[in-house]
């Protein structure tokens, strides 16, 4: 059960209307690494969690917080748009090409589709997609994906923070930056605990290693020009999982032969070197 509370957790008031900033914030709502994505990702991970109750409780706590982040950003977008003088902007665009070039950055869907409201879409109008979310049923794999999501999300918030000068919007972004910082710490801590608990950093941790080609499991192949990669910690020494030694090879190993495929049935109308075959 979810229960909505009318008060926002943090304030979401801009200093002035600005449809361009509203467009920027759409990325934080409905972009691949926006708040809609992390909210739905965590919800589906929580709903399918079959591990310890503390993990499910933690996931659902963070998921529900992210729903609140969506509302705060949506409220900010609405306030950035609610007094936006659309008619005046159109007149200015016609009178001054320079002004027009600036104002043309407004998302027209904010006016045409949403009536000066937020959209479940990114900054260029692409609708949010459930394909963005990861909920595999494996907590270690999912928590690593969550760490990536929070890292990418915080990166985008930081970039927008530097692109704008509206202090009211920056105040909200400072909140999101702080929470994304904590969430990165949280998921990294959970990953560390699971790795220690399950005794491996690999996913899945219980898959028998004797079923894989372990003789190539720690080899680095130099597939690109240059050998600078040979100086990294992945190229020599004990492997991070503690079960092997890294090796760096200047050339990739070649074990297979060049493929020679049989021709397909004439009814498939493929390319034939001999036209008489058809």
87 and 222 housed in the same domain: no
Residue 177: per-residue pLDDT = 97
231 and 167 housed in the same domain: no
Q: Do the annotations mark residue 35 as ligand-binding?
A: yes
Q: Do the annotations mark residue 226 as ligand-binding?
A: yes
Residue 91: per-residue pLDDT = 62
- Please say whether the beta carbons of 63 and 39 come within 8 A: yes
pTM: 0.86
- Please say whether the beta carbons of 14 and 79 come within 8 A: yes
Q: Which of 179, 198, 217 is the last residue of a domain?
A: 198
Q: Do the annotations mark residue 183 as ligand-binding?
A: yes
d(CA 149, CA 59): 14
Q: Do the annotations mark residue 66 as ligand-binding?
A: yes
Q: Could you tell me the mean pLDDT of each successive run of 10 residues in the chain, 278 residues long?
A: 94 94 96 98 96 93 97 97 69 56 69 88 96 97 98 98 97 97 97 94 90 92 93 95 93 92 87 60
Q: What is the domain range of residue 91? A: 19-198
Backbone φ and ψ for 127, nearest 5 degrees, come out as -65, 145
66 and 97 housed in the same domain: yes
Residue 89: per-residue pLDDT = 59
Backbone φ and ψ for 129, nearest 5 degrees, come out as -130, 140
Residue 82: per-residue pLDDT = 87
d(CA 185, CA 151): 10
Q: Which of 198, 233, 264 is the last residue of a domain?
A: 198
Q: Do the annotations mark residue 82 as ligand-binding?
A: no
- Total structural domains in the chain? 2
Q: Do the annotations mark residue 162 as ligand-binding?
A: no
Q: Do the annotations mark residue 96 as ligand-binding?
A: no
Q: Do the annotations mark residue 232 as ligand-binding?
A: no
Asked, for residue 265, whether it belongs to a domain, the answer is no
Q: Do the annotations mark residue 4 as ligand-binding?
A: no
CA-based max dimension of the chain: 78
34 and 112 housed in the same domain: yes
108 and 220 housed in the same domain: no
108 and 216 housed in the same domain: no
40 and 101 housed in the same domain: yes
Residue 85: per-residue pLDDT = 62
102 and 190 housed in the same domain: yes
Residue 115: per-residue pLDDT = 85
228 and 116 housed in the same domain: no
Q: Do the annotations mark residue 65 as ligand-binding?
A: no
Residues ≥6 apart with Cβ < 8 Å to 260: none
187 and 219 housed in the same domain: no
């Amino acid at each position: 059960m979810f229960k909505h509370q009318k008060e926002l957790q943090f304030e979401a008031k801009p200093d002035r209307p600005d449809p361009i900033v509203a467009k920027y914030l759409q990325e934080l709502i409905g972009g691949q690494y926006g708040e809609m994505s992390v909210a739905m990702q965590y919800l589906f991970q929580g709903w399918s969690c079959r591990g310890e109750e503390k993990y499910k409780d933690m996931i659902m706590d963070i998921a529900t917080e992210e729903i609140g982040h969506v509302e705060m950003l949506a409220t900010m977008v609405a306030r950035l748009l609610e007094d936006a003088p659309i008619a005046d902007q159109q007149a200015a665009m016609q009178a001054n090409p320079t002004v027009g070039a600036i104002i043309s950055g407004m998302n027209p869907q904010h006016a045409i589709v949403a009536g000066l409201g937020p959209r479940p879409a990114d900054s260029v109008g692409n609708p949010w997609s459930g394909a963005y979310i990861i909920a595999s049923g494996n907590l270690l794999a999912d928590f690593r994906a969550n760490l990536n999501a929070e890292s990418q999300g915080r990166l985008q918030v930081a970039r927008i923070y530097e692109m704008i000068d509206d202090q009211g919007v920056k105040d909200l972004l400072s909140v999101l930056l702080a929470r994304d910082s904590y969430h990165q710490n949280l998921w990294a801590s959970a990953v560390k605990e699971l790795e220690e608990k399950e005794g491996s950093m690999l996913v899945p941790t219980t898959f028998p290693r004797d079923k894989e080609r372990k003789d190539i499991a720690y080899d680095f192949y130099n597939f690109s020009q240059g050998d600078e990669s040979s100086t990294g910690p992945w190229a020599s020494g004990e492997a991070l999982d503690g079960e092997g030694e890294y090796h760096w090879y200047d050339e990739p190993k070649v074990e297979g032969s060049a493929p020679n495929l049989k021709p397909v049935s004439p009814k498939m109308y493929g390319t034939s070197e001999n036209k008489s075959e058809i």
